[in-house]
Structure 1
Amino acid sequence: MTLIRGILNSDEALPVSPDQVTVEWCSKALGVVIKEFTTVETIHGTASKILIGLKICSSNGGTDEPRPDQICVKGGFDPSITAIYPGLNAIYKREAEFYYYIAPLVTMRLPKAWYCGTDTVSGQGIVIMDDLRSTGSTFGTALDPWPVARVRAGVEQLAALHAATWSKTAQDHPWLSSGSALPAVILALLEPEAWARRYAEGERPPVPDEMLDRERMRRAFQKLWSATDPRYNCLVHGDAHVGNTYITAAGEPGFIDWQGLAVGSAFDDVPYFIAGALTVRDRREHEVGLVEHYLDTLADLGGPRLRKEQVWDEYRRHTMHGFVWALTDPHMQPKDVIFAMVERYTAAMVDHGTLALLGC
């Protein structure tokens, strides 16, 4: 196990805005002397990413250890978003915990993390990792659905996480005892004011009429969370959509954005990834084969041997997760991305009779 540099639950406040991510702070976090420091770009979304080019003094530590020269500093650096949804700090913290505790233990394709920090002041969490663009990688986007072969490789990555952590509970990872922060975020997005903002004239995503009842959709999420089958519990990504992926220069997919990590059903991740990554037509044609490939890979990597017939209703129920895109605040993601994802996920919900299966 390779430990990652960092301090968790520090009493010292972490940066909460881009101007606080300074050369002095980065030097302290990385434990080096930085002689050149250039902020290349700041990208705000649900979380913020500050891309920085730097040069580190060659005399640092007197070792030949690799040093980053292009980094991504990720955390909660958009005060306008955290003011509306204070609970987001918990998901920034969770991502730092993933890279600190779990990333060194799993055989997954992940960006190199150099530092992880959390504080007890704001609840903020920050990760410093390689800027993947500097490695020739590209990022998945909802506007470019994946070919089936790449989705097949993607479910293999999820199977690697799930197999390595199958049957784990919060007792195995005490820092997970608070559970997933995403249900609280989803419930906040289902509040009348947030719903009105999302469904204002000209902003309504392409949601079928049967899904326009706010209270019905709230009940459906609550039924989903209460009906999850604990037999399928493991550590889950929690937000495994195609926009939270990257593709290496060799064309291999990996997952990023581990803010929703939690103990939960493996079948929270799998349908959410498959339905969001494919066109509706490709999903309908290849979905069963992809689920069967996931199950085979899960068993091959040390997880349980499961049959599609055993898990299919659990899979169908968790297709509900995709409706979170129909709640996403217009300030969090571009409108065209939201609309593309909503179309795919709601089609999957209709195809699988998800609301009826949840009794809503």
Structure 2
Amino acid sequence: MKHEILGMGFQIVVHPALLAPLSFFIALYNRLSNMTPMANPLFPATADAITPLWMEQALSARFPGTRIATIKLTTFIDGTAQKMRYEIAYETRPDGAPASLWTKGGFDPKGASQGDAFANEVRFFRDISPDLSINLPDCYFGAIDPLSNNGVVLLEDLTARGASFGRATIPLTPEQAAAVLTAQAQCHAYFWQGYGKKPPRWLRPGGAIAATGMVDQYFGLWDGAAPRPRFAHLTAGQRDRDRMRRALNRLMDDLRTRPICLLHGDPQHGNLFFDPGGRPGYLDWQHCMLGVWAFDVAGFLVTALTVPDRRSHERDLLAHYLTALGAAGVGAPAFEDAWADYARYAMWGFMWAMCPVDAHPEEICSSNTERACTAMSDLDTVRLLAS
């Protein structure tokens, strides 16, 4: 198959199995030269570009000899990213090649507002996930387009494992939450304050959330969110737009200046899956970053549990997390110091009050806003960030 290298005026003939390594050298060349970046020949610019031939080329690097007859789109989820499930009919199916998979990328204009997010998900599965012991979907392929900085991954269809998935409107039990916190501790321990491996250079404090100014983006949506049902759950103090913006920006300043560990970055329980035995795992790693452990812990707990369960169990669950950190080999903070960080980082849950409905439907935004805003009141979060 011929692939024209843009901007160089000639064509080269490349075997499909060599296209993924070629993409690496193209990216390297782009970084080392002053030329306009070249297109990645194995990057689908749109969702329509995901064809049987493209899928065959993408899978050939992992599964040499792949020949695909047809692909069938069975599910399309349009959120911040576009996620598409395909069933694959093979002419030649190497051992291990999947019968179905998910394609994920930013194939929509709103993806451009995510900065490095989709490229970072590719990098996460390339550079970090092979060394983590936590439960993750298998990644069969990933590519980054230097022209758009978009990323695309081909991921395991977890339904083939019999997995179930977290639903933001269905709270977890305290026992399930404890299992998730164990997984978070194992993830956080990987780069914990110099323990373990050195973070790759692309993994930045605050990640794409900080780089794209997401807090200010969301406050720009305040007027559209205010008439929605979710705002009924805000206290009078939480309706003070300037006060809440200042508090969230103080939180982001802290997140960027204390790069303690590797974070998932979007820890709400709608991003969880559970194996049949109940072992949890996380999806959607586009916001992985360096930062403060409490971003993940509080961001998860204040929305994952019912209000009564959180109130009854959050101190015990935080202690469980700290014990799991110690078991992973790192020096966990003292409980009272950890509690202070947990109470402050509950502030991140306020982002649900402004979340656009093209990212999550109102039912989810309203449910998470109620739980998060109640937790912020219980924990005196805004006052702590003002002090």
- Establish whether TM, by shorter chain, passes 0.5: yes
Q: How does 1:40-189 map to 2 (within 5 A)?
A: 40-58=74-92, 60=94, 64=95, 66-79=96-109, 81-82=110-111, 86-168=112-194, 172-177=199-204, 179-183=206-210, 184-189=213-218
Q: 2:103 is matched by which residue type in structure 1? A: V
Q: 2:348 is matched by which residue type in structure 1? A: H
Asked if the contact 1:164–1:302 (Cα under 8 Å) also holds between the matched residues in 2, the reply is no
Asked if the contact 1:16–1:76 (Cα under 8 Å) also holds between the matched residues in 2, the reply is no
Q: How does 1:1-360 map to 2 (within 5 A)?
A: 7=23, 10=27, 11-13=38-40, 14-31=43-60, 32-58=66-92, 60=94, 64=95, 66-79=96-109, 81-82=110-111, 86-168=112-194, 172-177=199-204, 179-183=206-210, 184-191=213-220, 194-200=221-227, 204=231, 206-228=233-255, 233-359=260-386
Count of aligned pairs: 346
TM-score normalised by length of structure 2? 0.84
Unaligned residue ranges in structure 2 (runs of 5+): 1-19, 28-37, 61-65
Name whichever of 70-79 and 196-205 sits farther off.
196-205
Larger Rg: 2
Q: Deviations over 1:87-143 (max 9, x none)?
A: 224211121111111100110000111011111111101111111122211110111
- Superposed CA RMSD in Å reads 2.3
Distance 1:232 1:125, change over 3 A: closer
Distance of 2:205 and 2:176 partners within structure 1:
34
Asked if the contact 1:89–1:125 (Cα under 8 Å) also holds between the matched residues in 2, the reply is no
- Tell me which of the two structures has the higher relative contact order, counting C-alpha pairs closer than 8 angstroms and 6 or more residues apart: 1
Deviant stretches of 4+, over 3 Å: 5-11, 56-60, 168-172, 200-205, 227-232
Distance of 2:55 and 2:235 partners within structure 1:
47
Distance of 1:231 and 1:331 partners within structure 2:
32
Per the alignment, in what secondary structure is the counterpart of residue 251 of structure 1?
Answer: coil
Per the alignment, in what secondary structure is the counterpart of residue 48 of structure 2?
Answer: helix
Asked if the contact 2:346–2:376 (Cα under 8 Å) also holds between the matched residues in 1, the reply is yes
> Which residue does the alignment assign to 2:30?
none
Name whichever of 281-290 and 209-218 sits farther off.
209-218
* TM-aligned CA deviation for residue 172 of structure 1: 3.3
Q: 1:74 is matched by which residue type in structure 2? A: K
Q: 2:178 is matched by which residue type in structure 1? A: R
Distance of 1:188 and 1:233 partners within structure 2:
26
* TM-aligned CA deviation for residue 324 of structure 1: 1.2
Name whichever of 176-185 and 214-223 sits farther off.
176-185
Distance of 2:202 and 2:254 partners within structure 1:
24
Per the alignment, in what secondary structure is the counterpart of residue 74 of structure 1?
Answer: strand
Per the alignment, in what secondary structure is the counterpart of residue 175 of structure 1?
Answer: coil
Unaligned residue ranges in structure 1 (runs of 5+): none
Asked if the contact 1:167–1:233 (Cα under 8 Å) also holds between the matched residues in 2, the reply is yes
Per the alignment, in what secondary structure is the counterpart of residue 330 of structure 1?
Answer: coil
Q: Percent identity?
A: 31
TM-score normalised by length of structure 1? 0.89
Asked if the contact 1:71–1:128 (Cα under 8 Å) also holds between the matched residues in 2, the reply is yes
Distance 1:232 1:287, change over 3 A: farther
